[in-house]
Each structure stands twice: as C-alpha cells, then as structure tokens.
Amino acid sequence: MDVDVKHLPEHARFEAEVEGSTAFLTYEREGDTVAMTHTIVPPPIEGRGVAGRLTSTAVQWARSEGLQIDPQCSYVRAWLRKHG
C-alpha cells in the first residue's frame, strides 16, 4: 500500500491519512536528540503497514538531521531492532 506521510514539525508529528483515518507518530526534539514517543494507527487501517511507513519516514528524517533517536515508543523500538 502506498502511504503518503507528511511531517508536521509545528505539531512534532508525522501523519498519514488512509481512507479517512489519520495515523500518526509523535516526537519530542531536544538538542541533538529526538524522542519518538507514540505511534497511533486507528483500528480501521491497522495491519496495512502504516505504522512502519510512519516510522521509516521519521527515522530517515532524524538521521538526515543528524539526531540521536530515543525510541520511547515500543513500536519504534521494535522497528529499529528489525530494520536498524
């Protein structure tokens, strides 16, 4: 599934809208560290790879900014273990 992820830095989150439902990943940036705090995918769009797409986009952004990632969200932590 092609998922369009938008970065909304003014809200410290990444969002994806799929079939009228909005999924998101929130973060808190402090200095050279970004804490990825929550990944939320509404039940109607679960199991379609949306959380993975949000996470991969957020991780790519953090790395391009030279930020240290603090994976406070359990999904982000598991994704990083699997994908590096």
Q: How many domains does the chain have?
A: 1
Measure the CA angle with vertex 54, ends 37 and 39; round to 5°. 30
The tokens describing 12, both together, are 């410290």
Q: Read off the pLDDT of residues 1-53 as tens digits, 9 standing for 90 and up.
A: 688 999 999 999 999 999 999 999 999 999 999 999 999 999 999 999 999 99
pLDDT score recorded for residue 84: 83
Which one, of 5, 17, 19, lies nearest residue 58 by Cα?
A: 5
The tokens describing 13, both together, are 């989150």
Give me the domain span that covers residue 37: 5-83
Supply the pTM of this predicted model: 0.95
CATH number at residue 60: 3.40.630.30
